[in-house]
Amino acid sequence: QLQLQESGPGLVKPSETLSLTCTVSGGSISSSSYYWGWIRQPPGKGLEWIGSIYYSGSTYYNPSLKSRVTISVDTSKNQFSLKLSSVTAADTAVYYCARLAKYFRLYYFDYWGQGTLVTVSS
């Protein structure tokens, strides 16, 4: 059974960089059938896609966050990571990592991590 687990600091100071890692177990991050994504959810609000990465390193970002986001992959560790720079209180959210399956013309997030709350505060 595939599992995804987010890890990283739960508290980040304003103007600093938020860094999270997603560890994938029970399957290979190097499969050609999947992308790997980050999604966030501010408290009491809806879901926002942050960006995705393919095992080859190709990245895709939400235009509204693109200037501050970097997503990378480490296939040797079966992990992918998120960095979000210059954070403010508006970046306080539960951050999820998820697998984006791509089968022929079908694309959907089929496995999700449990999520990790990141609070931006001094």
Partner 1 sequence: EIVLTQSPGTLSLSPGERATLSCRASQSVSSSYLAWYQQKPGQAPRLLIYGASSRATGIPDRFSGSGSGTDFTLTISRLEPEDFAVYYCQQYGSSHQITFGQGTRLEIK
Interface residues toward partner 1, by CB under 8 A = 35, 37, 39, 46-49, 52, 60, 62-63, 96, 98, 100-101, 104-110, 112-115
Which token pair is 115?
């999520």
Rounded to the nearest whole angstrom, what is the least distance from the CB of residue 62 to partner 1 in the complex?
8
CB 101 within 8 A of CB 52: no
- Nearest-5° angle of CA 44, CA 45, CA 51? 135
Rounded to the nearest whole angstrom, what is the least distance from the CB of residue 112 to partner 1 in the complex?
4
Between residues 90 and 106, which has the closer beta carbon with respect to partner 1? Answer: 106
Rounded to the nearest whole angstrom, what is the least distance from the CB of residue 120 to partner 1 in the complex?
21
Between residues 77 and 102, which has the closer beta carbon with respect to partner 1? Answer: 102
First to last CA, the chain: 39
DSSP 3-state assignment of 66?
helix
Between residues 30 and 115, which has the closer beta carbon with respect to partner 1? Answer: 115
Rounded Cα distance between 80 and 94, Å, is: 17
Rounded to the nearest whole angstrom, what is the least distance from the CB of residue 76 to partner 1 in the complex?
25
CB 54 within 8 A of CB 47: no
Between residues 89 and 117, which has the closer beta carbon with respect to partner 1? Answer: 117
